[in-house]
Structure 1
Amino acid sequence: MRSSRRHPLLVPALLCAFAVLAARPTEASDTGGDSGLGAEVARLYADAAVATRQYEAGRREADAQRARAQRFEALLDQRRAEIAVLHEDLGRIARAQYRDGGGMPVTAQIILARSPDELMRGQHVFSRTNLAVNNAIDKSRRAEARLAADQEKASTAWRDLDRRNTELAVLKKDIEEKLEEARARLQGRADASVAAGSCRGAVRLDQPETHFATRWVAPVETYELSASYGSGGERWARRHTGQDFAVPIGTPVRAVGEGRVVRVSCGGPFGIEIVLEHAGGYYTQYAHLAAVAVDQGERVSTGQWVGQSGTTGNSTGPHLHFEVRVTPESGSAVDPSSWLAAREVNLG
């Protein structure tokens, strides 16, 4: 069963910022170094997240503005229908007045009236009715004019938002294309490292500011769970020894807790891998990476980026293979989901 967890990203919401992001140079293609390429991929991930977030916000705003324009249109239709009814009422009153003598000249009405009071009452009733209907029509027309102006404003705002969102979609696509190309180059260099059996060195990434409320976190921020601990498969001699997180190539991989890097290797079935030692005699492994961001012997803190995901070694697609062990070596793994859950990290 596949499961996913999504975490919100806090990003600015300015269209001009995306124009800057789309135009930013790709330093790694110039330097040719792993460090520059890995940093480029990490930066493009952040840029793509910003673009996606702003695109989605713009789309929701455009949908809301479109709904407002449609509501104004419905109100206009209702107001027009009310005015039509008022016109019809005025017509009926005029016809009734004509049949009752209201349409006769004033001289004839004076002659035929049975008394001055009857004449005055008839004239007064007709005048009041006529004035009330006219006032109602004028009021409705003014309201219709206001609604029409509001509807035009809403429609204009909706068209502007739609145009802006189209521009954002183009910028978003451009960033994603750059990211896909950078991912392919990063994975290509990782494969070369694995083939040579030698890591190229740590990719020093710009670490994000993090303030975790707990001592432990999941190894990646956004993911889908794939192969779980103990599951069977043709690729494993016995049973799967870890938890797989399906993530794209270049995704930043985090230390689940503070500890020390005890192994960085670039060959064998795990491809590029890192093993961390934690307090209490436990070790965590991060395998099938495309790049490492730490050196052996280095101390790491909770949530620190220690590498970038890939598909090196015995891997059929981009993912992070995560293990928890009681020794640094293979064959001593425990269920990582239960281990993390005991530390208040639930892989939903």
Structure 2
Amino acid sequence: MRRVEFMRGCALSMAACLLVAGAGSSAQADPVPEAAEVERLYREASTAVQAHEAARRAVSRARAEVDRLRAAEAAEKVRLEQLRDSMGELARSQYRVGAGSLTTTVRFLTAGSPEQLMRRMSLAGRGGHATASLLTRVRESQARLARDRAASAAVLGALKADLVRQAAARGQIERKLRLAQERLRLAEEARRAARAAARVSGTGWNASAAGAPGPSCGGGGSAEPLGPPPPADRAAAPRWVKPVDPAPLSAGFAQSGGHWKHRHTGQDFAVFDGTEVRAVGAGTVHFIGCGDGFGNQVIVRHPNGYFTQYAHLSVFGVRTGQQVAAGQTIALSGSTGNISGPHLHFEVRVTPQLGSGVDPLPWLREHGVKV
């Protein structure tokens, strides 16, 4: 079975590829142990991806809470300063009108009538009440400010712990995927050696049954600028966009069925050949090349630590290491790789490697993009 047949939709797990590729040649060592080990590593990486996403969501919630507490603290500081200003103004007013005990007594004694005396006593009482009320409010404001600061410090501590967990999960993902890739590399070397031995011994190795190289990518070799240049005013440009516009949805993330032995690793968009493919956010072009089932592909690293992949392309519009802006055209869609029809395959990954993907549509929605 050719690799073009078992990697359709660029969604088959690497372990399943290994298992099927090795099944066609009796001259090779039994590939099942390697396939099982690689599959296990990919499952563990998938679990680590979920842990990473849970930690990321916790970090996002903690940061929002920190922002809320800091805003409350700033508002309470303003309120406290206003109360202190009011206290100072009241004290100055009382000093100007003579609010000392002797002066007040003299004013009471010189009242011309009982009604005037009662009025002066009422005014004095209201002044004392206002002072006491302001003092109470100042104390309450100081207490709220202290509580906000304590809560902010506690949330910051939790945020740091979540960041540590997120980094640990990312490291675990990378280690598992590196191990899986190394297992695949060694198994591929063993298969090549077995095929070479079969040719020498004349056992008639059948390339079509043993995983011959994938289809030619074709095109895409040049990297000419495509579409309009990125906006000069980066501040006015959108931060995140759809990879194609319009963006008709096709096969979704984790979908299974006849096209995939394992599960679909990204989101497909049903677009015609030559559709402009855009970077969903600002970043750096991490990889450009042709990779088996994915055909021509571009991988962009974004400042938030995520990677986005754009596959089955016909023409490249950027080069490795190039800085790109959100919405910048980086390629044209096509039909390269293992594909039944033209479309864009789009992935969001925690690492550059296959196997670290997250569901692209919720991720885009979290970044303000409606698809």
How high is the TM-score relative to the length of structure 2? Answer: 0.46
Q: Which has the larger radius of gyration?
A: 1
Higher RCO structure (Cα 8 Å, ≥6 apart): 2
How high is the TM-score relative to the length of structure 1? Answer: 0.48
